[in-house]
Amino acid sequence: MQIQSVGVVGAGQMGNGIAHVLSLAGYDVLLNDISEEAIGAALDLIRSNMTRQVGRGKIAEADMEAAIARIRGTRVLSDLGATDLVIEAATERETVKQAIFEDLLPHLQPHTILTSNTSSISITRLASRTDRPEKFMGFHFMNPVPVMQLVELIRGIATDEPTYKACYAVVERLGKTAASAEDFPAFIVNRILMPMINEAVYTLYEGVGNVNSIDQAMKLGTNHPMGPLELADFIGLDTCLAIMNVLHDGLADTKYRPCPLLTKYVEAGWLGRKTQRGFYDYRGEVPVPTR
In this structure, the number of other CB atoms found within 10 A of the CB of residue 206 comes to: 10
Distance CA 205, CA 210 (A): 9
Residue 134: active-site member: no
Predicted confidence band at 3 (pLDDT cuts at 50, 70, 90)?
very high
- 23, 88, 120, 152: the catalytic one is 152
Q: Which residues are annotated as a binding site for NAD(+)?
A: 10-15, 33, 92, 97, 119, 143, 274
pLDDT reported for residue 1? 75
Query: Would you place residue 242 in the very low, low, confident or very high pLDDT band (cuts 50, 70, 90)?
Result: very high
Q: How does residue 276 score in pLDDT terms, banded at 50, 70 and 90?
A: very high
Taking CA atoms, 156 is separated from 76, 124, 164, 179, in Å, by 28, 4, 10, 15
Average pLDDT on 152-179 reads: 98
Give the model confidence (pLDDT) of 90-102 as tens digits: 988 899 999 999 9
**Which one from 16, 23, 119, 198 is the annotated catalytic residue?**
119
Q: Which domains does the chain have, with CATH numbers?
A: 5-182 (3.40.50.720), 191-289 (1.10.1040.10)
Q: Which of 117, 190, 198, 230 is catalytic?
A: 190
Helix (H, G, I), strand (E, B) or coil at 141: strand
Which residues, at least 6 apart from 133, have a Cβ–Cβ distance to it below 8 Å?
124, 127, 156, 157, 158, 159
The predicted model scores a pTM of 0.90
Catalytic residue chosen out of the listed positions 32, 117, 120, 140: 140
- Catalytic residue at 61? no
Angle between helices 189-205 and 228-235 (to 10 degrees): 120
Is residue 140 annotated as part of the catalytic site, yes or no? yes
**pLDDT surpasses 90 at 184:** yes
Is 210 in the active site? no
* Mean pLDDT within 282-290: 97
